Chains A and B, each alone.
Chain A
């Protein structure tokens, strides 16, 4: 059902945990649906220097959270904002079709975290372009 890569990230998630001094947080999902993903970012000179996640959800939710943090670290805000749900799934050697829609929320969480950071620094997405 799950690819080796999904199982690997699910078993040994990267960048898991809270970030107390985070510059911004993106929260997506709802416990009723079974998925809740929080992405924390630390930003310096518009570069994401650190990223962490906390996730309630199935193996796909956890693995996509882990993968999105790996894809994000060291990227500029603009580059990170371009990471899509499909990028996350592709880097995990794909997800079961039923999970593509419901549990593949980590990229949305990242986008929300970036939007939160921009809001805090008095900017909008347009300013990144």
Chain B
């Protein structure tokens, strides 16, 4: 069997072995509930508090701030937006986000729109960078929250967070940052960037799945959206997932300690991957920003062919990758990120999303660059589209749209 190579880390990351080892005792030996007064409970409570400090350090948070453990980034984003909106309703009803946010932001804001909240989606340029001028102009006296991601999970573009933080601060509006894709990849500091709420995912830090966190600056109040026994400062009820939290804590500590080393290693691999592909394949284009991008992200589109077909051929060769093609999504809708960047639906079908990880090697990059061009060639030979028969010929043709 061919070696399985994961170039799809944005979907799933293998847990760090040290993290797995650290979690192990909390399943059977230290199984106590942190809410219990007895010794077993208090051992667990201590472990959770230790993890809180580890996570806080990763993002430069202060001891007076809060780290709320959740079931993952989707819950953290729901809590940040819904919780903040409900709690601060009397201050206003307007929320600002960007067009390229994760669906757990976009769909939560859509839900809030039905509860009477207004929202503005700030546009991005062709590289996926948020238009900061449009952001400034979107602020009204009703605006209560700005939610902008640190980096985009799909195309890897890193937003100008310092500038966005300044805009939010001068307007005195709290800034929420979805840092799922960027944490551990590039430095982030909540006080430097003027961040009041921040979302983290454990698995993206090489920790276990099913755990995440929400950072809340001192003085930021959110209404609980999960009611119960009042765990996590009364903000997120439910007995703590102690092994998961312990794992996320250590994963955050490792990510902080080794971030510069990982970033320089991955940037090297990423650049070889991007340059290798663009050199060997005609009419292949990089999506996202050429330099302001995550160390582990390469997103490339290939004209005249469809991404699911490329993905399947690559998987026969052992490479696990993702595509932005609508044909693989559950809704058959094209990627909202690529659409916002002005890429046509037809072109978006041919986009490959490659997200590297710590365990990837130079040899894997080299093999990928060898394996990919014949696949593209094979599919292009099959396609009726080409330089002579471009997409534009079909633009005005009637078609049955199935989205």
The interface of chain A, by Cβ under 8 A from chain B, is 2, 7, 10-11, 13, 16-17, 27, 29-36, 38, 54-59, 61-62, 98, 101-103
Residues B394 and A31 in contact, CB atoms below 8 Å apart:
yes
Residues A57 and B402 in contact, CB atoms below 8 Å apart:
no
Binding site secondary structure of chain A: mixed
Nearest 8 CB-CB pairings of A with B: A30-B399, A31-B346, A58-B308, A58-B327, A56-B383, A54-B384, A34-B349, A102-B402
Q: How many Å from the CB of A51 to the closest CB on chain B?
A: 15
The interface of chain B, by Cβ under 8 A from chain A, is 304-306, 308-309, 312-313, 316, 325-328, 330, 332, 344-346, 349, 381-385, 391, 394-395, 397, 399-402
Bound-state CA distance A57–B379 (Å) is 9
Contacts A10-B312, A31-B346, A32-B345 known; A16 to B382 CB distance under 8 Å? yes
Residues B304 and A56 in contact, CB atoms below 8 Å apart:
yes
Bound-state CA distance A33–B326 (Å) is 8
Bound-state CA distance A48–B4 (Å) is 44
Q: How many Å from the CB of B89 to the closest CB on chain A?
A: 39
Residues of A contacting B326 in the complex (Cβ-Cβ under 8 angstroms): 34
- Write 19 A-B pairs (CB below 8 A) sorted by A numbering: A11-B313, A31-B346, A31-B385, A32-B346, A32-B401, A33-B399, A33-B400, A34-B306, A34-B327, A34-B346, A38-B384, A56-B304, A56-B305, A56-B383, A56-B384, A56-B385, A57-B327, A58-B309, A59-B309
Bound-state CA distance A102–B402 (Å) is 7
Bound-state CA distance A16–B382 (Å) is 7
Residues of A contacting B304 in the complex (Cβ-Cβ under 8 angstroms): 56
Residues A34 and B397 in contact, CB atoms below 8 Å apart:
no
Q: How many Å from the CB of A9 to the closest CB on chain B?
A: 12
Contacts A55-B383, A56-B305, A59-B309 known; A31 to B402 CB distance under 8 Å? no
Bound-state CA distance A100–B346 (Å) is 20
Bound-state CA distance A62–B401 (Å) is 19
Bound-state CA distance A31–B385 (Å) is 9
Residues B306 and A56 in contact, CB atoms below 8 Å apart:
yes
Contact of B385 among A7, A36, A61, A98 (CB under 8 A): A36
